[in-house]
Amino acid sequence: MLTKRIIPCLDVRNGRVTKGVRFKDNIDIGDPVEMAVAYSEGGADELCFYDITASAERRPIDIGMVEAVARAVRIPFAVGGGIASLADMERVILAGAEKVSVNSLAVRTPSIISEGAARFGRQCIVLGMDPVRSERTPSGYEITVRGYRERTGIDAVEWARRAADLGAGEIVVNSVDADGTRAGFELEITRLIADAVDVPVVASGGAGSPAHVVAALRDAHADAAIVAGMIHSGEYTILDIKRALSTAGLPARMRW
């Protein structure tokens, strides 16, 4: 049976992993490669790296870091943040990342999804989206871009459907309202999107306990969940989360 994936997310700024609440108050929590190895050995099913400052500062992705991670871990990982072109995607993939995640770029230039899928295969192209609660759009959620700074007026569910049609192989639903709060995933928008598209959906933003992860995977129909602060802080381990999944009757990879 296909297991539900637990994906630690590492926000990288100037070569260090940081964690903040809603992109504010970032604190240094470690070396990306060391943390990647530790999480891989701790049972992570996949990893994701976001160069959170790349886009705002118009700075390219740190390819050396991607290569170092690819040499160090034997599980898949995705890289996002600061991807500005097909050439950027190619650099990240050639450096050893399985997947590249586009977010603001895809909103501005949706054809990057289809072009990326045609060039590298749709399994390589992850659409990241940052929906925020909104009364302006039919689903009640609106897409934001540029690290939540700008609202777009685009309906989150419509955008997910369109991105999947264009060739996104996976969609990460990162709730702006929940991100960094550790108060639980935004289940409603996660479920709306998981039920609307036929590609895997990853819940992101707000994980604070194994029970939150169970809720996203069971009640909100997500295929995978991104976790950050709850494991970075040492409060929980990936094993804790996997055990909670098993207890809840969700398929989890328990041997690694």
Partner 1 sequence: MIAIVDYRAGNLTSVRNAFAAIGAETTVTRDPAAIRTAERVVFPGVGAAGSSMANLRVLDLVDAVRDAARTKPFLGICLGMQILFDRSEEDGGTDCLGILPGQVRRFPSIPGVKVPEIGWNQVNGDIEYYFVHSYYAEKGPYTVGVTEYAGVEFTSAVRKDRLVAYQFHPEKSGRFGLDLLREFVSC
Tell the smallest beta-carbon distance from residue 93 to partner 1 (Å).
Answer: 5
Cα 88 versus chain centre, distance: 18
Nearer to partner 1, 83 or 176 (CB): 83
Q: C-beta of 253: minimal distance to partner 1 in Å?
A: 5
Q: Comparing C-alpha atoms, which of 255, 254, 201, 249 is closest to residue 226?
A: 201
Q: Is 11 one of the annotated active-site residues of the chain?
A: yes
Pairwise CA distance, residues 80 & 50, whole Å: 5
Is the Cβ of residue 142 or residue 170 nearer to partner 1 in the bound state? Answer: 170
DSSP 8-state symbol, 245: H
Name the minimum Å distance from CB 73 to partner 1.
Answer: 9
Binding site for partner 1 (CB under 8 A): 1-5, 40, 45-46, 70-71, 74-76, 93-96, 98, 120-124, 169-170, 198-201, 221, 223-224, 253, 255-256
Nearer to partner 1, 19 or 91 (CB): 91
Q: Which of 51, 130, 155, 179 is catalytic?
A: 130
Cβ proximity to partner 1: between 40 and 134 the closer is 40
DSSP label of 4: P
CA end-to-end span of the chain, whole Å? 16
Report, in Å, the least distance between residue 45 CB and partner 1: 6
List the one residue out of 132, 85, 91 whose CA is nearest residue 106.
85
Distance CA 145, CA 137 (A): 16
Q: Hey, is 233 helix, strand or coil?
A: coil
Contact between 168 and 117 (Cβ < 8 Å): yes
- From the list 11, 88, 155, 223, the catalytic residue is 11
Active site residue 195: no
Catalytic annotation, residues: 11, 130
